Amino acid sequence: MKISKSLFAFVLLCFISNSLFAQSIASVDENVFTSNPTLTELPDENWSFYKDEENQLYFIDFEQINFNLSEIIVKNDDGDILIQDDVLDLPVNTIYEIDLSEYGVGNYHVELRSFTGIIRKQVDIK
């Protein structure tokens, strides 16, 4: 059975593409978002951040964000990570709740991370 050169080239190209894709997926570091300091700072006026200061609850409306989020991180002033949540699989109409009541008085930094950038918001609990 003879295979034409163009069919052979197509099959070979598909095989190589799939192999490269599988290698790139296999080499993804699980902590790429938290360990990547090169993420671009994105403007924060495009997302909705609601607060219930009395109960120290904060809400992020995913529908108001014009890109897909991959991770939400909350840090204290010392840079310690208090909350870290992978949100890539959540629906785009999610309203995400952050409960800071157990952390007490202080300044906190909320980071919304995507594959290409990051938005930061400071929260002060008095």
- 80 alpha-carbon distance from chain centroid: 18
Residue 58 domain-assigned (yes or no): yes
Residue 6 domain-assigned (yes or no): no
What pTM value is reported for the model?
Answer: 0.64
**pLDDT over 90 percentage in the chain:** 33
Q: Is the pLDDT of residue 26 over 50?
A: no
Residue 24 domain-assigned (yes or no): no
Residue 38 domain-assigned (yes or no): yes
85-126: pLDDT as tens digits: 999 999 988 999 999 989 989 999 999 998 888 888 888 888
| Helix (H), strand (E) at residue 48 | strand 48-52
- 74 alpha-carbon distance from chain centroid: 12
Confidence of residue 27 (pLDDT cuts 50, 70, 90): very low
Residue 50 domain-assigned (yes or no): yes
**pLDDT over 70 percentage in the chain:** 63
Residue 61 domain-assigned (yes or no): yes
**What range does the domain containing 104 cover?**
32-125
Q: What is the CATH number of the domain that holds 111?
A: 2.60.40.3080
> In the chain, how many domains are there?
1
